[in-house]
Structure 1
């Protein structure tokens, strides 16, 4: 009887020992696996990822600078062709789509905010270019300063570049980056982290919105002259080196359509001079 009890105790002890050994082996395996996870990246891979994101930053800044340069000239040309106004801001002559600068005895051109209109069109073109970039660039993201033939754009939100892009699929990148740039919740991106860039720009452009102010002053003189003289006579009286005046009369409508070329404003990308289009009701 005593022998049976001893054998039973020995079996219980052996079972306990086996369980302890299994627990220890499991713990050691877990610890070893956790330590091995630290070395999942090969030596130099982290540094290579950082160098890669710096290259992406250079590409981004170059793209933004060139986009801004093209957008500035496109915006000015579009501004001029729309008579300096935003779309739907001024009434339009149905015969050719030109905006009215003078209608119902009102000098509508004096109500135009040129700088606001220019910023509007500049933002429109920037958004178009940015939508074509492979990485997400926030839209409507700039505060603009226009002065002394220089256009400065200050980015409000950063562009986020993932430092370890293979940790996040291209399919999800745009949606995630969009949310991150909106709420700046950096924990939403995986990998080594993100590199935040505020791609501001400065463009030296041969444009001058003050040329519009000079043209507006000539409009005042022209309208006074038209009260008692022909269109041709009045246009000849205000000719100068700054502008080339072209016009078409619509006698049955009591309207004159103008296409005024800025002699000193040439788009370097198209080689064409900028021109302003508008119509005047004859006073």
Structure 2
């Protein structure tokens, strides 16, 4: 499996528009964070988890020529705003794009992209094949690749993380049940969100994420969905346990 971090930033990205802080003015490429998304190449399939507003830029940067499926963790705009740009893959591949999400999320997509689902459709709109994730406890297949859903809470909003083989990905969460943590245990690589140092209503802080990962003890762990409030990449990473690193845009892992 090859894992590519397409984006590792929070909803505003980094730098934040108009912000004069040291992180937003940093020249370190690792401090430039697009909205959060990850690309998996596994079992001969190309799968993306979440397509935010930077999806086009991310796909161009990583030269993703083929896409087999799109999977959504939840319905927030910084995770779904790039759906329209799957048109390029529709045209190249001459087929509808399978889109996997919970029924609630699919209904939200129907509202926000009403033109995709209209009775009389404008030529050239995205062509999608909706695939509902009907259980948060049973493994499902994404174009033949087993995905194990992991239930998390994003404040009061239920969201999904996923375990794919020995890789676990959880973003936009501030609560994981004991059962969810056990699902994650034993993964070789775990990705977890860590927004900032201060307590937040809907995201793990850096220390909360480190504590969870220290307990789970994967071989490697990476933090994502990072805001400018966390600090400069090189300075924050220097404070972390050796097995935990900050993810950055364009980072590739082999598993």
TM-score scaled by length of structure 2: 0.30
**TM-score scaled by length of structure 1:** 0.28
Q: Which structure has the greater CA radius of gyration? A: 1
